[in-house]
Amino acid sequence: MNDDIQHLNILSIFHYVVAGISGLFSLFPIFHLMMGISMLTGGFLSPGAEAEAPFPFWLFGLMFTLIPAAIIFFGLVFSGFIAAAGYFLAKRKNHMFCLIMAGVSCIFMPFGTVLGVFSIIVLSRPSVKELFNVIKPVSAS
């Protein structure tokens, strides 16, 4: 039982670490986002060059804005979910959410895969499931 508590605490810390790493990696396309915004505002065109372009230049700007924005958004949401799973592991709440996030974190290779596999192994133990199902006594006030 004591090993299970220690394993859950270590997994909780590593969830925070992987959330930070994935959050940092999700910000890598910020250069493309800034380039797309610059294209949309006309920062790359000289005056009067829009009439000479054989294709709508704003379409590339839109592509360079929307795709990186979506990657950044979903990456930060993923990082938030990983951090929430770490919080729930520390508080011994939401066993199913932690198990689902352990599976989803396997997408983020190699750190998330290692974390997800170890989380699934630890969360599948019957003794760990009992730790999540402990009913706390209600204090009379």
**Amino acid 138: pLDDT:** 67
CA angle 20, 99, 87 (to 5 degrees): 45
* H helical segments located in the chain: 2-26, 30-40, 57-91, 95-104, 111-123, 126-132
3 state SS of 140? coil
Q: Is the peptide bond before 137 cis (omega within 30 degrees of 0)?
A: no
Distances (CA, A) of 63 to 24, 30, 46, 60, 112: 22, 13, 20, 5, 29
Instruction: Give 25's pLDDT tier (boundaries 50, 70, 90).
Output: very high
**Amino acid 133: pLDDT:** 81
Query: Which of residues 115 and 139 earns the better pLDDT score?
Result: 115
Q: How do residues 86-110 score in pLDDT, each as one tens digit?
A: 999 999 999 999 999 999 999 989 9
Query: Which of residues 53 and 128 earns the better pLDDT score?
Result: 128
Residue with tokens 């192994």: 121
Q: How do residues 33-48 score in pLDDT, each as one tens digit?
A: 999 998 888 776 666 6
Q: What CA–CA distance (Å, rounded) separates 29 from 102?
A: 25
Instruction: Give 136's pLDDT tier (boundaries 50, 70, 90).
Output: low
Q: What CA–CA distance (Å, rounded) separates 48 from 128?
A: 68
